[in-house]
Amino acid sequence: MATASERIDPHKVQESLEVFCAQTEKRLEELEASVGQRCETVAQDDIPDLMKTKLHLQSQIEAIINSDLVELPNDSHLLIKVAKEEAETMANDNARTLSHYREKLMKLKEEKNMYEEMIKKATLVNEQLDQILNKRSEKDKLEQIRRGYERSAVFFRLLRSQLQVILAEFYPGDGDKITMENLLESLVTKMLHDQNDPYVDIDDTMKSSHIELLLRVNLITRHPQNIMKIRFVDPRY
């Protein structure tokens, strides 16, 4: 593949230099014409200042003519060499710039991957914390239910023992009649074991005073279609 220096056209370089020289000469002519016009319009008493200005402009023109921009070498090979060096310098600068931006791009990609990995880890930790909190919440609920059940069981046993004392003292057995305690026990057992038909038939072994008392305090209720059947009122509903 041809290098940048091998693609330089000597004729085009020569033409560019000729155009530059022509433009410089035209600029000098415009400066001289401008100085001449000013000399014609300036009053006679401003001639010393005008001469100073003219001398200053001439010195600037001579400096421009003597500068490197005008006195370019006529050797086309030398111009090609200079252009080649400039092209190589520019290519090296561009290569360094490209390498810098590639390196910067790689660092940005590494940072992006690092942040994505951090986000994944943070998300995983968050999910694990949620699971732990949910499990802990469920465990706390179960523990709360267990403690409530234990307190209820203690309270129930206390009430039952007190109820047995009251029933034994105020409602003792009477011959072939069942006691109040046995009546309540049979009603509760029927309710727990046969919820579809929790009613118990009233028979001669039951004292009517016991049944009336339980109906009055709303512990039992009669069957809606058969008054000879009673059931214990389920406290859960």
* Same domain? 153 vs 176: no
- Give SS3 for 17: helix
Distance CA 69, CA 21 (A): 9
Structural domain includes residue 93: no
Structural domain includes residue 150: yes
Helices 10-41, 76-170: inter-axial angle, 10-degree rounding: 100
Burial, 2: exposed, middle or buried (Cβ in 10 Å; 0-12, 13-18, 19+)?
Answer: exposed
The answer for residues whose C-beta is within 8 angstroms of residue 49's C-beta and 6 or more apart is 42
Q: What is the pLDDT of residues 107-118, one digit of tens each?
A: 888 888 888 888
Q: Number of structural domains, the chain?
A: 3
* Same domain? 105 vs 166: yes
* Same domain? 24 vs 61: yes
Structural domain includes residue 140: yes
The secondary structure of residue 178, as a DSSP letter, is P
Q: What pLDDT does 4 receive? A: 42
Distance CA 193, CA 109 (A): 71
* Same domain? 110 vs 160: yes
Q: How does pLDDT run along the chain (237 residues), one tens digit per residue?
A: 444 444 455 566 566 666 666 776 677 677 666 655 555 554 455 556 666 776 776 676 666 666 555 455 566 677 677 778 888 888 888 888 888 888 888 888 888 888 888 888 888 888 888 887 777 777 777 888 888 777 877 776 777 777 777 777 777 767 677 888 888 888 888 888 888 889 999 988 888 888 888 888 888 899 999 999 999 887 766
Q: What is the pLDDT of residues 52-109, one digit of tens each?
A: 776 776 676 666 666 555 455 566 677 677 778 888 888 888 888 888 888 888 888 8
For the chain, what percent of residues have pLDDT higher than 90? 7
